Amino acid sequence: MNIAEATKQRIIELCDERNITYCRLATISGIPYTTIKSIIYNQSKNPGVTTIKKICDGLEISITDFFDTDIFRNLEQEIK
């Protein structure tokens, strides 16, 4: 799994936990729905830190909480 796939999986997980749609996530995060959609449907290969921070703010979690999961702990090294 790479960073883009891990980010996608984490967003899906967080939305499922909170029972919110991707459209609702976009609204509470203050980012376009198309941005969320591009991450979820693998059109975005490298979601930016600013986007992830806005998602975290919308979900009322810290960046640490976003990345502190097995999904990110077990990532393969992408840059060698």
Digit-coded pLDDT (tens) for 29-77:
999 999 999 999 988 888 999 999 999 999 999 999 999 999 898 887 6
Q: Is residue 77 situated within a structural domain? A: no
- pLDDT band, very low/low/confident/very high, at 3 (cuts 50, 70, 90): confident
Q: Contact, 17 vs 66, CB < 8 A?
A: no
Per the structure, the count of domains in the chain is: 1
Residue range of the domain that includes 16: 3-72
Question: So what's the pLDDT on residue 2?
Answer: 84
- Cα(45)–Cα(19) distance, rounded to whole angstroms? 25
- pLDDT band, very low/low/confident/very high, at 79 (cuts 50, 70, 90): low
pTM over 0.75: yes
State the CATH number of the domain containing residue 18: 1.10.260.40
Q: Is residue 79 situated within a structural domain? A: no
Q: Is residue 35 situated within a structural domain? A: yes
